[in-house]
Amino acid sequence: MLDMHSHILYGVDDGPTTKTESLHLIEQAVNAGVTDIIATSHAFHPQFHVQATTIREQIAELSTELQDRQIPLKLHTGQELRLKDVLTDKIAEGEALTLAGSRYVLIELPSNTVPAYTIPVIQQLLGMNLIPIIAHPERNKAIAEKPNRLYRLITNGALGQITAGSLAGHFGRAIQKTAMQLVEANLVHTYGSDVHNIKTRPALFNEGLDHLEKRKKHEVIDILLENNDRIIRNEFLIQLEPEEISDSKWWRVLK
């Protein structure tokens, strides 16, 4: 299994601070059955910008450590790219990384809004033969208030990534409900832990899948995990027909 969204590199952003912590997170992932991790450190974020060279260097260092310790997990390069109107320029200049060298790029929206230039950036990325995946849309305030904002992004060519902790209830019941509503409307396509540390931002990889299983979303589990693997293989992802979410339907779910 692949974890396609993680903050496991140490001392670079708001993830682990030491190599020991990074290795603990990796060992925890292996115990959960994860075989591959894409390291998606923050880039172009107001607080953090981890350069591509730093990511490559630390992944090489940690990969050597994993081999020495005989830990059966493969690390891949990536970044969680904060949405900017000049993002395509940064990618063209080689300052931004795709996920595991594939056609997919992980895009983080600002926490509270969906900027007006989001769809133009999506279209520019598609024009570069790149496919944007929107990171943790269930935790974006504007999407939580009006989920059809995500529907518009998906119908304009983006994909969505749901977070394990959101499904498991780690961020509260409201975000858990938002996450399930987006799942049920076929607005998410990939699955990541967004792990930062063991205590306050744990992986909860299997716990999120367990919640989907309890809700009898077995097909969703299969699609999410298959799509994760397709990122590594640089193949097109499985997409079910997205459903528009009316405001009245949304508020009924929250009651």
Average pLDDT over residues 4-24: 97
Q: Say yes or no to pLDDT of 251 above 60.
A: no
Tokens of 131: 């496919």
Task: Tokens 């790149």: give the residue.
Answer: 130
Chain centre to alpha carbon of residue 147:
18
What percentage of the chain exceeds 70 in pLDDT?
96
Average pLDDT over residues 89-94: 91
Q: Say yes or no to pLDDT of 246 above 90.
A: no
Q: Say yes or no to pLDDT of 66 above 80.
A: yes
Average pLDDT over residues 197-218: 97
One-letter amino acid at 139 equals R
* pLDDT at site 202: 97
Average pLDDT over residues 207-216: 98
Q: Say yes or no to pLDDT of 249 above 90.
A: no
**pLDDT tens sequence across 150-166:** 999 999 999 999 999 99
Torsion of CA 94, 100, 101, 105, to 10 degrees: -60
**pLDDT tens sequence across 220-236:** 999 999 999 999 999 99
Output the CA–CA distances (angstroms, integers) from residue 7 to 74, 169, 212, 231, 238, in the order listed: 15, 20, 23, 18, 25
Going by pLDDT thresholds of 50, 70 and 90, the confidence category of residue 26 is very high
What percentage of the chain exceeds 90 in pLDDT?
94
Residues 6+ apart with CB under 8 A from 98: 78, 91, 104, 105, 130
Angle at 65 between CA 61 and CA 67, to 5 degrees: 120
Average pLDDT over residues 76-99: 94
Output the CA–CA distances (angstroms, integers) from residue 194 to 1, 83, 106, 139, 235, in the order listed: 15, 17, 12, 12, 22
Q: Say yes or no to pLDDT of 248 above 90.
A: no
Domains in the chain and their CATH numbers? 2-254 (3.20.20.140)
Output the CA–CA distances (angstroms, integers) from residue 252 to 172, 210, 212, 244, 249, in the order listed: 18, 25, 20, 15, 5
Average pLDDT over residues 5-12: 98
Q: Say yes or no to pLDDT of 76 above 50.
A: yes
For residue 89, the number of C-alpha atoms closer than 13 Å in the C-beta half-sphere is: 4
Q: Say yes or no to pLDDT of 254 above 70.
A: no
Average pLDDT over residues 101-113: 97
Going by pLDDT thresholds of 50, 70 and 90, the confidence category of residue 247 is low
Q: Say yes or no to pLDDT of 252 above 50.
A: no
Average pLDDT over residues 52-80: 98
Going by pLDDT thresholds of 50, 70 and 90, the confidence category of residue 245 is confident
Average pLDDT over residues 101-111: 97
